[in-house]
């Protein structure tokens, strides 16, 4: 099974900006997150794959075919841009039906799928209202609906959570993840928030200033590290020394003592040591290391 | 009365309509390519002109234009019908003929094109909808040409339908309907030919303007400004040249040529620059020239109709070309 999308040494230069520099990557089936700060090149990468803009140099493939003639591939691709792209005087029902037809679906199929998909994204009652009257959350849902209405194999969502509050963000991400896993639609979603991606994606690609700085499985980054964090008001050094003596590896991070993968026995030892040394424990909590922690570390 | 079969499932109440909403499903049916996409864009263009799914104002716009364009035809037909029902001889009242009708509706057609035409291109640009088309199985030019054809369809209807009604009323009110058709069969193809040219002219101008701006209002103003400014240049230019020429002719003691003697070759010596600059008065060029060419020798225009035809063809080609250039590809 070839990668859904693959880029080989892609460079994209605008007049005076290098938006992408020598990017080589593969997008596999499932959910992939594209993480990067503003201007990192996320949108540029997506629009390149979609054939909306042309690369300055390099090659790319879509569904294993050279990306030169996108017409064929476009029948099985969905896209939602980062900005608003909905005509304000048209209803979601009208617009989604139309977009399904432009994707090649017959008229009646287009209409019934539009109804179903709008319901799926949670725009049921509102679907006959002009989209200009929608809230940001509803617009993001309508954008998602037009991207999946033709039942594509691959959907590219550029910042689908932009403008949403934390609760709205959570709902949107769950909707996207559920659509992807339940119906086997692969998704590439971009965000500048690590939280969005670690919650929903199986794979992650981190872009920084037009280059790929990390790529891999999200689970690979998170499961291997269960860390216990003990925060002390005083006496941290004594505890650390005593634990090290007893063969438990610790690291000190500010006022916190971090112990990786502590076993049940280790926990007993730790409790005893704290009592012995009379250190003042402020807080004790397990800490699942997040992707944020990983990428905050200086690159090796 | 019991709940309908589907109304209750496992004793759970369901809301009306929910039964048929299956949520997301996979689609295994046919998937069309460029042709289907083209037709979808065309259909949407038609709906957009009619204002379907787009609020009341858009519907009114099309309806009012339609009524205004049909109005004169209906009026003429009623007058003719009224006269003949009193045994009056319709030939004796100076009712407008086919070639006069365009003069009555040209301005309405122009306004319709200027106001409604840009709706087919400008808003999609303004609302950034084009990237959604760019990722579907059609090319940028497919999109633009489908939109062009959608408006062209209306422009054709608005030029041809009233004329066809008029023709029908002439046929029916004639003592010998078959005789009328035999004598005036040429009018039918003239109606069609002028409708085609006039519609292409209006459509190309409106969509060219729309291809240049994402603001509908600017595009509308652009269409009207183009027609009026070229006409002004034609008018003033003609004035200046004519008066120069008159002075020369008076000095030479020659008699000036004054219009309609019916013989174009004599009236319009090729060196007469005023007549050529008058071609810039596009409504005249369009109506007088092209209708003299199609309806035959019933109207008079000083230069050979070929110049009119070429002028109009150049405007259509230029405007269409502008749109094609602007839509040679989606995005940057
Ligand atoms: N049309 C353009 N002309 C010139 N420079 C551009 C253009 N589009 C993007 N850029 C530049 O390319 C770089 C990458 O832009 P891009 O939009 O891909 O970033 P992004 O990761 O999507 O950022 P954001 O989170 O703000 O959407 C930026 O420096 C941007 O200024
Ligand atoms: Mg972006």
How far away is chain A from the Cα of B148, in angstroms, using its nearest Cα? 17
Secondary structure of B263-297 as H, E, C letters: CHHHHCCCCCHHHHHHHHCHHHHHHHHHHHHHHCC
ipTM confidence score:
0.78
Q: How many residues does chain B have?
A: 332
Closest CA to A139 of A119, A115, A117, A121: A121
Judged against a pLDDT cut of 70, whether residue B244 lies above it is answered with no
How far away is chain A from the Cα of B212, in angstroms, using its nearest Cα? 19
Q: Which residues pair with A189 in a beta bridge?
A: A33, A157
Q: Is there a contact between B22 and A116 if contact means CB atoms under 8 Å apart?
A: yes
**Cβ–Cβ < 8 Å for A289, A263:** no
pLDDT tens digit string along B100-150?
777 777 888 888 899 899 999 999 999 999 999 999 999 999 999 999 999
Query: Running DSSP on this structure, what letter comes out for residue B176?
Result: S
Alpha-carbon gap, residue B206 to B148, rounded angstroms: 9
pLDDT winner (highest mean) among A118-122, A236-240, B191-195, B268-272? A118-122
Mean pLDDT for the stretch of residues B36-64:
90
Q: Is there a contact between A51 and B129 if contact means CB atoms under 8 Å apart?
A: no
Residue of chain B minimizing CA distance to A180: B24
Judged against a pLDDT cut of 60, whether residue B13 lies above it is answered with no
Alpha-carbon gap, residue B228 to B281, rounded angstroms: 8
Choose the weakest-confidence range: A34-43, A217-226, A244-253.
A217-226
Alpha-carbon gap, residue B188 to B171, rounded angstroms: 11
Annotate A39-62 with DSSP letters as a single string. TSSHHHHHHHHTTSS--SEEEEEE
pLDDT tens digit string along B154-164?
999 988 888 88
Alpha-carbon gap, residue B101 to A174, rounded angstroms: 63
Query: Running DSSP on this structure, what letter comes out for residue B55?
Result: -
Instruction: List the single residue in A52, A103, A146 with the smallest CB-CB distance to B331.
Output: A52
pLDDT of residue A265: 82
More reliable by pLDDT, A132 or B57: A132
Distance B332 CA to ligand 1 centre (A): 13
pLDDT tens digit string along A161-178?
999 998 999 999 999 999
Query: What is the crossing angle of helices B34-50 and B140-173, to 10°?
Result: 50
pLDDT tens digit string along A38-77?
999 999 999 999 999 999 999 999 998 887 678 888 989 9
Q: Is there a contact between B134 and A50 if contact means CB atoms under 8 Å apart?
A: yes
**Alpha-carbon torsion angle B133, B134, B135, B139, nearest 10:** 90
Q: Count other C-beta atoms under 10 Å from residue A77's C-beta.
A: 25
Q: Is there a contact between B136 and A99 if contact means CB atoms under 8 Å apart?
A: yes
Q: Is there a contact between A103 and B133 if contact means CB atoms under 8 Å apart?
A: no
Chains A, B: CB pairs < 8 Å: 129
Q: Is there a contact between B24 and A87 if contact means CB atoms under 8 Å apart?
A: no
Q: For residue A207, which ligand has an atom nearest its CA?
A: 1
How far away is chain A from the Cα of B146, in angstroms, using its nearest Cα? 12
Is the CB of residue B131 less than 8 Å away from at least one CB of chain A? yes
State whether the beta carbon of A82 lies less than 6 angstroms from ligand 1.
yes
Closest CA to B75 of B100, B92, B50: B100
- The percent of residues above 90 in pLDDT, for chain B, comes to 31
What is the band of B68 on the pLDDT scale with cuts at 50, 70, 90? confident
Alpha-carbon gap, residue B96 to B75, rounded angstroms: 10
Distance A35 CA to ligand 1 centre (A): 14
Is the CB of residue B183 less than 8 Å away from at least one CB of chain A? no
**Cβ–Cβ < 8 Å for B289, B301:** yes
For atom 11 of ligand 1, which residue has the closest CA? Answer: A19
Residue of chain B minimizing CA distance to A76: B136
Q: Is there a contact between A71 and B124 if contact means CB atoms under 8 Å apart?
A: no
Strands A226-234 and A280-288: antiparallel
What are phi and psi for residue B164, nearest 5 degrees?
Answer: -65, -40
pLDDT of residue B144: 97
pLDDT of residue B328: 92
Choose the weakest-confidence range: A162-166, A197-201, B324-328.
A197-201
Alpha-carbon gap, residue B173 to B76, rounded angstroms: 12
CA distances from A113 to A64, A99, B17, B185 (A): 28, 11, 15, 50
Chain B residues with CB-CB distance to A148 below 8 A: 24
Alpha-carbon gap, residue B106 to A148, rounded angstroms: 45
Alpha-carbon gap, residue A268 to A275, rounded angstroms: 11
For atom 2 of ligand 1, which residue has the closest CA? Answer: A14
Q: Which residues contact B68 (CB under 8 A, 6 or more apart)?
A: B105, B108, B112
**Cβ–Cβ < 8 Å for B164, B70:** no
State whether the beta carbon of A17 lies less than 6 angstroms from ligand 1.
yes
- The percent of residues above 90 in pLDDT, for chain A, comes to 59
Judged against a pLDDT cut of 90, whether residue A124 lies above it is answered with no
Q: Count other C-beta atoms under 10 Å from residue B56's C-beta.
A: 8
Alpha-carbon gap, residue A27 to A18, rounded angstroms: 22
- Tokens 């993968």 locate to A261
State whether the beta carbon of A52 lies less than 6 angstroms from ligand 1.
no
Distance B323 CA to ligand 2 centre (A): 29
Chain A residues with CB-CB distance to B328 below 8 A: none
Name the pTM for this structure.
Answer: 0.80
């Amino acid at each position: 099974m070839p990668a859904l999308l693959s880029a080989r040494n892609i460079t994209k230069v605008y007049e005076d900006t290098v938006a992408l520099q020598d990017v080589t990557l593969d997008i596999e089936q499932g959910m992939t997150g594209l993480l990067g700060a503003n201007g990192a090149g996320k949108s540029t990468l997506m629009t390149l794959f979609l054939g909306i803009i042309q690369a300055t140099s390099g090659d790319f493939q879509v569904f294993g075919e050279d990306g030169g003639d996108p017409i064929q591939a476009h029948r099985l691709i969905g896209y939602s841009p980062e900005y608003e792209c909905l005509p304000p005087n048209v209803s979601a029902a009208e617009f989604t039906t139309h977009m399904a037809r432009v994707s090649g679906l017959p008229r009646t199929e287009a209409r019934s799928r539009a109804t179903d998909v709008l319901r799926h994204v949670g725009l049921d009652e509102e679907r006959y209202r002009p989209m200009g009257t929608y809230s940001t959350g509803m617009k993001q849902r309508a954008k998602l609906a037009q991207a999946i209405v033709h039942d594509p194999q691959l959907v590219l969502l550029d910042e689908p959570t932009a403008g949403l509050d934390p609760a709205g963000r959570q709902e949107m991400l769950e909707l996207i993840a559920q659509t992807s896993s339940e119906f086997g639609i692969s998704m590439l979603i971009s965000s500048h928030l690590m939280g969005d991606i670690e919650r929903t994606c199986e794979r992650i690609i981190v872009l920084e200033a037009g280059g790929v700085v990390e790529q891999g499985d999200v689970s690979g980054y998170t499961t291997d590290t269960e860390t216990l964090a003990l925060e002390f008001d005083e006496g941290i050094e004594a505890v650390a020394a005593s634990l090290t003596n007893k063969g438990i590896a610790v690291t000190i991070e500010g006022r916190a003592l971090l112990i990786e993968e502590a076993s049940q026995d280790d926990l007993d030892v730790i409790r005893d040591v704290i009592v012995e040394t009379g250190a003042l424990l402020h807080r004790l909590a397990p800490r699942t290391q997040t992707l944020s922690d990983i990428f905050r570390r200086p690159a090796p | 009365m019991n709940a309908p079969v589907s109304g209750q499932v496992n004793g759970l109440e369901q809301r009306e309509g929910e039964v048929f909403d299956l949520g997301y499903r996979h689609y295994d049916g046919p998937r069309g390519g460029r042709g289907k996409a083209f037709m979808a864009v065309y259909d949407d263009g038609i709906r957009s002109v009619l204002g379907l799914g787009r609020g009341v104002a858009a519907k009114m716009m099309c309806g009012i234009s339609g009524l205004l364009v049909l109005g004169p035809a209906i009026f003429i037909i009623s007058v003719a019908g009224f006269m003949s029902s009193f045994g009056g001889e319709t030939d004796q009242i100076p009712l407008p003929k086919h070639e006069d009708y365009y003069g009555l509706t040209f301005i309405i057609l122009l306004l319709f094109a200027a106001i409604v035409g840009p709706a087919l291109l400008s808003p999609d640009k303004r609302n950034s909808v084009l990237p959604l088309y760019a990722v579907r199985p059609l090319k940028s030019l497919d999109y633009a040409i489908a939109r062009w054809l959608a408006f062209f369809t209306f422009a054709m209807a608005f030029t041809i339908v009233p004329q066809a009604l008029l023709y029908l009323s002439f046929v029916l009110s004639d003592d010998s309907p078959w005789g009328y058709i035999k004598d005036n069969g040429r009018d039918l193809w003239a109606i069609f030919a002028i409708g085609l040219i006039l519609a292409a002219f209006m459509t190309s101008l409106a969509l060219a303007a729309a291809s240049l701006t994402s603001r509908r209002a600017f595009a509308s103003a652009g269409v009207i400004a183009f027609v009026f400014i070229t006409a002004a240049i034609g008018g003033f230019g003609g004035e200046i040249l004519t008066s120069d020429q008159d002075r020369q002719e008076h000095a030479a003691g020659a008699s000036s040529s004054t219009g309609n003697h019916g013989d174009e070759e004599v009236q319009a010596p090729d060196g007469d620059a005023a007549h050529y600059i008058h071609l810039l008065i596009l409504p005249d060029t369009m109506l007088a020239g092209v209708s003299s060419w199609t309806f035959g020798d019933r109207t008079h225009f000083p230069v050979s109709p070929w110049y009119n035809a070429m002028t109009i063809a150049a405007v259509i080609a230029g405007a269409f070309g502008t749109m094609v250039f602007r839509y040679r590809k989606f995005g940057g």
